[in-house]
Amino acid sequence: MRKWLNWVALVVVFSIACGFLANWQFARREMRLASIELVEENYSQPPTSLAQVLGSQGFAVPEASWRSVSLRGEYLSDLALLVRNRPNNGQPGFEQVIPFQTHDGRIVLISRGWLPTGSRQDSPDFVPKAPSGDLEIVGRLLTSEPKFDRGAPTGQIASINVDLANQLTKLNAIPNGYLRLVSESSKVPTGVKPMPTPSIDEGNNLSYALQWMLFAVMAVLALIWRIRRDRQLASGTKSTPVKKSRAKLDEELEDSVTRAK
**Are residues 18 and 141 located together in one domain of the fold?**
no
pLDDT for 254: 60
Q: Is 35 in the same domain as 52?
A: no
Is 59 a residue whose pLDDT tops 90?
yes
Rg (CA), the chain: 34
Which amino acid appears at position 41 of this protein? Answer: E
In a domain, 22, yes or no: yes
Asked if the model's pLDDT at residue 48 lies above 60, the reply is: yes
Please give the DSSP secondary-structure letter assigned to residue 48: B
189 assigned to some structural domain = no
33 with 50, same domain: the answer is no
Q: How many domains does the chain have?
A: 2
Beta strands 81-83 and 58-59, pairing class: unpaired
How do residues 188-203 score in pLDDT, each as one tens digit?
Answer: 777 899 888 888 888 8
The per-residue pLDDT for range 202-240, each reduced to its tens digit, is 889 999 999 999 999 999 998 888 888 878 887 765 555
Q: What is the pLDDT of residue 137?
A: 96
Same structural domain for residues 170 and 100?
Answer: yes
Give the least confident one: 114-123, 184-193, 243-252: 243-252
Q: Are residues 88 and 26 in the same domain?
A: no
User: What is the pLDDT of the chain when averaged over all its residues?
Assistant: 87
Q: Is the Cα dihedral 63, 67, 71, 77 positive or negative?
A: positive
- Asked whether residue 53 falls in the same domain as residue 147, the answer is yes
Range of the domain at 69: 45-184
pLDDT attached to residue 195:
86
31 and 58 fall within a common domain:
no
Provide DSSP, 84-143: S---BTTB-EEEEEEEEEETTS-EEEEEEEEEEPPSSSSS-S--PPPPPSSEEEEEEEEE
Asked if residue 160 and residue 51 are part of one domain, the reply reads yes
pLDDT confidence of residue 251 = 65
Q: Is 196 contained in some domain?
A: no
What does the pLDDT read at residue 122? 81
Q: Do 25 and 102 sit in the same domain of this protein?
A: no
Q: What is the pLDDT of residue 252?
A: 61
Residue 160: inside a domain:
yes
Phi, psi of 73 (to 5 degrees): 165, -140
Q: Does residue 11 belong to any structural domain of this protein?
A: yes
Amino acid sitting at position 58? G
Task: Please indicate, yes or no, if residue 195 is contained in any of the structural domains.
Answer: no
User: Comparing C-alpha atoms, which of 190, 67, 64, 184 is closest to residue 128?
Assistant: 190
Q: Residues 56, 157: one domain?
A: yes
- The predicted structure's pLDDT at residue 1: 61
Q: Is residue 246 one of the residues assigned to a domain?
A: no
Which pLDDT band, with edges at 50, 70 and 90, does 180 fall under?
very high
Q: Provide the pLDDT for residue 73.
A: 96
* pLDDT tens by residue, 97-109: 999 999 999 999 9
Whether residue 192 contacts residue 88, with contact meaning beta carbons closer than 8 Å, is answered with no
- Is pLDDT larger for residue 256 or for residue 47? 47
Name the DSSP letter for residue 198. Answer: P
Q: Which helix (H) or strand (E) holds 166?
A: helix 162-169
